[in-house]
Amino acid sequence: MIQGYHRNIAGIPPIPHGMGGMHTACATVLSLRYHKATVPTIRVATASASPAVDYTVAIAPGLLRTLYPRLRKLTPGKSPSTFVVTSPAIWALWHKPFLASFPKDKKPAVLFLPAGESHKRLATVESLAQQLACAGADRDSILLAFGGGVVGDVTGFLAAIYMRGIRYVGIPTTLLAQVDSSLGGKTGVNLLAGKNLIGSFHHPLAVFTDIDLLRTLPSAELRSGLQEAIKAGIIYDAKLFRYLEQNTNKIIESKSATQPSLSAKSALRKEQRTPNAKGTDAGAPHLDSGMWDSAALQKVVTASVRVKAEVVAADEKESGLRMILNFGHTVGHAIEAATHYRKLLHGEAVAWGSIAALHLSLNRGRITPEEFARMANLILRYGPIPPFKADPAKLVSLTSADKKKRSGRRAFVLATGIGRTEVVYDVTDAELLAATRAMLTDMRASERVR
């Protein structure tokens, strides 16, 4: 495994010596034809932005090997210079298919961004911008964000501010980036004070989502991305939720170990007792395999992208509906901060944050015990989700730094059913502390079962 992101597969060599060093809404599924291949495409469009947002997300295996003609279709009659921003690990694995369709005199320059959340900083953006300037990048240049969420966020922000804004194309390589962060226009970097506090809304020119790129993804990264897909089902798409429930063994092959299952009866007992008590049962399968079904995973990616496209099209700047995409993220971001971004992948932190949000939803009577059990069990089924150590009071305190606060009020997304949510601003620290304690109780129970 290379830097914990993608693992080596046969036939892909390391980096060659000397390479690199540098509210009108519409979300529809289209079909674009490239070189005798029909590719499912989801359109992201909104007239609320200025200028209006209108781009497509293509989702299929094998897109990487036809990248250059796809880029040419985006800029007919022009041949702008292109710059790839990627990590050394990703480039080592995938540079040959990436460059396969580029003519020798049109190959892009490569700028390397070290892997990891610790490099999602303003200093990194300044370094990359300096490299662009030295290489002669101008306002017609196009950046290619080839990597996971960090690469996408940093490249998008770099594109937003370099020469006051240039274009970029997303080529996400992790499942989490494919289903969520590569579209929607949110770009940015972290401060010591919190995550994504410096950034801009800057949409890509297009997104090319190649399912084949997931072949080198470690199992933990795959499961982390699936947590964002589960979130999409919980907040918006009950059909996607059911598909994830019914096709677990297609999406990820099941093994014989067990994962704790939260029964409706347990949830009901919890509701009748104290807010932070929790009962669990054993029984649901505990998944531990890198095997996955390409067709099933493509369905999950496509459905998740459609959810985000529809939400973003209706509310680009997160003034209303788009806030539902933050389900599980308020506590999830607090978990990441408390563990210094080293213990959990983003999707894993969101998974625990989602369970906390479900406890809060149940305590307020917004979901039934049966709904709680279905949603919490689905999150756990796509584990294992690593445990962590944190003081619940500290987690509650860290949520006060959440950038989604409005006029000093903490926004919190609650589930009101499978496929339904609401945003509230009156969650008290006591309520959140009870939900966080209940989540930590669930986590300890899952450790005992493993």
- Spot the catalytic one: 17, 33, 35, 164: 164
Determine contact, residues 298/60, Cβ cutoff 8 Å. Answer: yes
d(C-alpha 227, C-alpha 351), whole Å: 6
The strand pair at 142-147 and 82-86 is best described as parallel
- Spot the catalytic one: 117, 221, 316, 318: 318
Report phi then psi at 319, rounded to 5.
-95, -5
Per DSSP, the three-state class of 375 is helix
SS3 content of the chain, % helix, strand, coil (to 5): 45, 20, 35
CA angle centred on 297, ends 40 and 169, rounded to 5°: 50
**Residue 225 one-letter amino acid:** G
d(C-alpha 227, C-alpha 447), whole Å: 19
- Spot the catalytic one: 6, 70, 120, 186: 186
Q: Give the residues across from 111 on adjacent strands.
A: 85
The strand pair at 109-112 and 281-285 is best described as unpaired
Q: State yes or no: is 164 an active-site residue.
A: yes
Residue 17: other Cβ atoms inside 10 A: 5
Q: State yes or no: is 322 an active-site residue.
A: yes
- The beta strand positions in 335-426, using DSSP E, are 412-417, 420-424
- Spot the catalytic one: 95, 167, 299, 326: 326
Q: State yes or no: is 333 an active-site residue.
A: yes
Q: State yes or no: is 17 an active-site residue.
A: no
**Residue 187 one-letter amino acid:** T
Q: State yes or no: is 72 an active-site residue.
A: no
Sign of the four-CA dihedral 151, 156, 158, 162: positive
Per DSSP, the three-state class of 50 is coil
Q: State yes or no: is 73 an active-site residue.
A: no
Q: State yes or no: is 202 an active-site residue.
A: no
**Residue 343 one-letter amino acid:** K
Q: Which residues contact 387 (CB under 8 A, 6 or more apart)?
A: 443, 444, 446, 447
- Spot the catalytic one: 346, 366, 374, 381: 346
Determine contact, residues 354/377, Cβ cutoff 8 Å. Answer: no
Determine contact, residues 145/152, Cβ cutoff 8 Å. Answer: yes
Residue 265: other Cβ atoms inside 10 A: 13
Q: State yes or no: is 343 an active-site residue.
A: no
The structure tokens listed for 434 are: 């009870």
- Spot the catalytic one: 278, 333, 359, 404: 333
Active site residues: 164, 186, 228, 308, 318, 322, 326, 329, 333, 346
